[in-house]
């Protein structure tokens, strides 16, 4: 369990909570006049359902007509016919960083490639400079502004990577801010150490020496401080080789930390198969993934995290091998990949639409991709992604006639309410429903 998780609807936050969290009422009681998608599958929907929350956890769910007598005396929350899904999970973000890279966006439009910008000192390294120069309080304020739109779309769990510090102090600073975001906003934050993201300028020409620093100094210190839930790396021509990635994964294994990988985004270096050999919880991007990599992922149970925001923003033309992933039964998740250089998106709902329109995923696939499978990509399938008795009350109420509307609309947010860690937050569509009735 991460440090941001809570057991009751009134949590003990070491940081002062955001005002919206402090004012949020408790969700305990019976949520009725609703339709339930317990595992986000429209084929297993429970129409005319009810859901009971006690002490910030789900105590019962099913058809409202079957509500046990023991719960009929509890307070009522009228859902006004909303669809209730598990809280959404954004399983791949780089939310904490300094500055932005709008100027590089303009350079790409003028013809420069991602590799051209990186080799010219831009790209990840430019964000590293900005992040190192930004103090923790400013990083927290900037990341808070990026997190709020995601929370307003029903996100209740999110992964936040480091990787823009590339030295111990700056990586620590990023991960500390990520933990603080979870505590302040009452959202589950899974932190990922991405020290092997890029080669810092002080290690130019000495990639192996830098990987030694990542494995022998940075990772042990950050694990000791309780700041690391998973370890990631960028296995790519402009990142790190397969052999260097193995060294990072070996170090993670020594510390008992699960791994994931940025793999096959720009070329095929066999990263997905390598990740699968280490039992990676996910391999992400995957535009250049081949069938051997797909088979390896299927055998290892590794989730394919697809990132249509980056695909769109980079104007890529190489699609991930969706049919191969389907054929071999590899679970597919979608995420924002929020980052300053290649996916400055703060809408997970937009990723649902892009997953359908760009990658040709079906509505059931994209609904599962930000709930059930996204939770698996965090190694948290037992805590997130489904509505189930005993779990912390994290769920979203949508003012829609059919779940397909979550992928159909873009530029519209139909969230009526979201319950995070047993607390109620109104969404932008809350004004579209009638007044509260018992």
pLDDT digits (tens, 9 = 90+) for 40-50: 999 999 999 99
Mean pLDDT of 66-88: 97
User: What is the per-residue pLDDT for 434?
Assistant: 43
Burial of residue 218 (CB within 10 Å: 0-12, 13-18, 19+) is: buried
Q: Indicate the domain borders of the chain.
A: 25-86+387-426, 88-96+125-378
- CB-CB contact of 76 with 64 (8 Å): no
- 421 labelled binding-site residue: no
Q: Say if residue 399 carries a ligand binding annotation.
A: no
pLDDT digits (tens, 9 = 90+) for 155-195: 999 999 999 999 999 999 999 999 999 999 999 999 999 99
- % of the chain residues with pLDDT over 70: 95
Per-residue pLDDT at 118: 72
Average pLDDT over every residue of 119-143: 91
Annotated ligand binding at 262? The verdict is yes
φ/ψ of residue 31, rounded to 5: -95, 115
Name the CATH architecture for the domain at 25-86+387-426.
Answer: Roll (2.30)
Q: What CA–CA distance (Å, rounded) separates 198 from 124?
A: 7
Exposure on the CB side of residue 196, measured as CA atoms within 13 A: 37
The answer to whether the beta carbons of residues 219 and 162 sit under 8 Å apart is no
Average pLDDT value over all residues in the chain? 93
- Alpha-carbon gap, residue 87 to 393, rounded angstroms: 9
Q: Is 278 annotated as a binding residue?
A: no
3-state secondary structure of 97: coil
Does the annotation list 101 as a binding residue? yes
The torsion angles phi and psi of 418, rounded to 5 degrees, stand at -135, 140
Phi/psi for 29 (5° steps) reads 135, -170
Q: Residue 1: is its pLDDT beyond 50?
A: no
Annotated binding residue at 92? yes
Select from 156, 158, 151, 233 the least CA-distant residue to 193: 233
**Pairwise CA distance, residues 350 & 318, whole Å:** 20
**Binding site annotation covers 338?**
no
| 3-state helix, strand and coil shares in percent for the chain, rounded to the nearest 5 | 40, 20, 40
* 255 appears as a binding residue in the annotation: no
Q: How far apart are CA 269 and CA 265, in angstroms?
A: 10
Q: Chain-centre distance of CA 157, in angstroms?
A: 7
Q: Is 341 annotated as a binding residue?
A: yes
What's the pLDDT tens digit per position in 85-108? Answer: 999 999 999 999 999 998 888 887
97 is in an annotated binding site: no
Q: Is the pLDDT of residue 13 over 70?
A: no
d(CA 3, CA 133): 27
| C-alpha to C-alpha distance for 57 and 195, rounded to whole angstroms | 36
- Longest CA pairwise span in the chain (Å): 70
pTM for the model stands at 0.94
Backbone angles phi, psi at 387, to 5 degrees: -95, 120
Give the pLDDT of residue 433: 55
Region 120-139: mean pLDDT is 90
Would you tell me which CATH number, out of the four given (3.20.20.140, 3.40.50.720, 3.60.20.10, 3.90.380.10), belongs to the domain 88-96+125-378?
3.20.20.140
Share of the chain above pLDDT 90, in %: 86
Three-class DSSP category at 380: coil
Tell me: is residue 270 an annotated ligand-binding position: no
């Amino acid at each position: 369990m991460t440090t941001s998780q809570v057991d009751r609807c009134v949590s003990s936050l070491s940081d002062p909570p955001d005002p919206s969290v402090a004012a949020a009422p408790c969700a305990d009681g019976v949520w009725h006049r609703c339709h339930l998608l317990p595992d986000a599958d429209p084929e297993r929907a429970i129409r005319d359902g009810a859901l009971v929350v006690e002490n910030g956890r789900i105590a019962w769910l099913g058809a409202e007509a079957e509500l046990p007598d023991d719960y009929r005396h509890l307070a009522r929350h009228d859902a006004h016919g909303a669809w209730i899904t598990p809280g959404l999970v954004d399983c791949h973000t780089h939310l904490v960083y300094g500055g932005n890279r709008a100027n590089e966006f303009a350079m790409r439009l003028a013809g420069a490639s991602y590799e051209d910008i990186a080799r010219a000192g831009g790209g990840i390294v430019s964000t590293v400079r900005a992040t190192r120069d930004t103090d923790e309080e400013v990083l927290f304020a900037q990341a808070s502004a990026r997190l709020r739109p995601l929370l307003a779309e029903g996100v209740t769990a999110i992964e936040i990577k480091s990787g823009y510090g590339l030295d111990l102090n700056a990586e620590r600073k990023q991960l500390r801010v990520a933990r603080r975001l979870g505590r302040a906003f009452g959202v589950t934050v899974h932190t990922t150490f991405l020290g092997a993201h890029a080669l810092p300028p002080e290690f130019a020409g000495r990639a192996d020496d830098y990987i030694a620093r990542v494995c022998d100094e940075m990772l042990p210190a950050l694990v000791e401080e309780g700041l690391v839930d998973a370890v990631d790396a960028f296995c790519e021509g402009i990142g790190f080789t397969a052999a260097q990635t193995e060294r990072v994964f070996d170090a993670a294994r020594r510390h008992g930390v699960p791994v994931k990988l940025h793999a096959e985004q720009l070329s095929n270096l066999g990263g997905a198969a390598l990740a699968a050999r280490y039992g990676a919880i996910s391999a992400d991007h995957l535009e250049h993934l081949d069938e051997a990599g797909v088979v390896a992922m299927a055998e290892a149970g590794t989730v394919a995290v697809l990132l249509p925001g980056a695909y769109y923003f980079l104007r890529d033309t190489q699609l991930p091998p969706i049919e191969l992933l389907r054929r071999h039964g590899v679970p597919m998740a979608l995420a924002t990949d929020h980052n300053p250089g290649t996916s400055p998106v703060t809408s997970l709902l937009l990723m649902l639409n892009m997953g359908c329109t760009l990658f040709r995923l079906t509505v059931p696939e994209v609904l599962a991709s930000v709930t059930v499978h996204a939770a698996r990509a965090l190694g948290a399938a037992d805590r997130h992604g489904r509505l189930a008795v005993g779990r912390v009350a994290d769920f979203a109420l949508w003012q829609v006639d059919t779940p397909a509307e979550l992928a159909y609309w873009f530029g519209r947010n139909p969230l009526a309410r979201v319950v995070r860690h047993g607390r109620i937050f109104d969404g932008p569509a809350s004004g579209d429903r009638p007044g509260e009735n018992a």
